[in-house]
């Protein structure tokens, strides 16, 4: 792998929707590096969490929002980021919290 495992997977995305996906479809959501592809994400998840087998990886790119400071009237932009939804085999789990 060209990247280290911890450079590919930045952090888990823990929202209400991601918790529902985890309970119903055994899918986990992570914020990942923008340059990582699906194969690298799969290898990183399997290396980070031993005993877990990834069935599929779905990725989405998000554009950073433009924000404005109302006090100073300066315009800024949040960073672009990439999200990956990882589906595991039936019966396997990842303890995130």
Which CATH number is 9's domain given?
3.30.70.330
Residue 96 inside a domain? The answer is no
Does pTM surpass 0.75?
A: yes
Q: Does a structural domain hold residue 94?
A: no
| pLDDT confidence bin for 1, thresholds 50/70/90 | very low
Domain with 12 in it = 5-88
> Which pLDDT score, from 0 to 100, does residue 36 have?
95
In a domain? residue 20: yes
Measure CA 4 to chain center.
Answer: 15
Classify residue 95: in a domain, yes or no. no
Average pLDDT rounded to a whole number, residues 77-82? 96
Mean pLDDT of 79-91: 97
Q: How many domains are there within the chain?
A: 1
CA distance 77 to 46: 34
pLDDT reported for residue 97 = 73
Please state the rounded mean pLDDT for residues 38-61: 96
How many angstroms separate the CA atoms of 14 and 21, rounded? Answer: 11
């Amino acid at each position: 792998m060209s990247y280290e495992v911890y450079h590919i997977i930045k952090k888990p995305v823990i929202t209400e929707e991601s918790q529902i996906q985890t309970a119903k479809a055994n899918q986990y959501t992570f914020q990942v590096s923008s340059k990582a592809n699906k194969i690298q994400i799969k290898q990183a998840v399997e290396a980070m969490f031993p005993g877990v087998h990834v069935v599929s990886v779905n990725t989405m790119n998000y554009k950073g929002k433009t924000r404005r400071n109302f006090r100073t009237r300066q315009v800024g932009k949040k960073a672009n980021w990439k999200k990956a939804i990882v589906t595991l085999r039936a019966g396997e789990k990842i303890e995130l919290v």
